[in-house]
Amino acid sequence: MAAKPIVRWAVEDRTTGMPVAHGCAPTEEEACREVMHYAVQYSQDGPVRYWVRHNRNTVLQGELAVVHKTLSGSAALQALQAATSGEKP
């Protein structure tokens, strides 16, 4: 029986390169949702870098500067998703 493909994700502090959150998910969609959630959360403390990998292929990567705490969590996540997809929020 073949091993099920795993989608890994991580959020790293951009200044130190240290991981601040990481995990795996059964689908790319779920991994992207998780990485965006943690990227927004940790970017309140400083700039972060994030990535999602399916097997050895990077399916999403980017950097996020400081997100102002005045945005609600869902508004910040929607703004981030719009920015990464190239759409207007």
Confidence grade of residue 3 (pLDDT, cut at 50, 70, 90): low
CA–CA dist 14, 67 (Å, integer): 14
pLDDT, average across residues 57-74:
77
Domain holding 75, by residue range, is 7-80
Number of domains in the chain: 1
pLDDT value for 69: 59
**Mean pLDDT, all residues of the chain:** 83
For residue 70, give the amino acid letter: T
Confidence grade of residue 57 (pLDDT, cut at 50, 70, 90): very high
Residue 58 lies in a domain: yes
Residue 2 lies in a domain: no
pLDDT value for 89: 44
Task: Report whether pLDDT(44) > 80.
Answer: yes
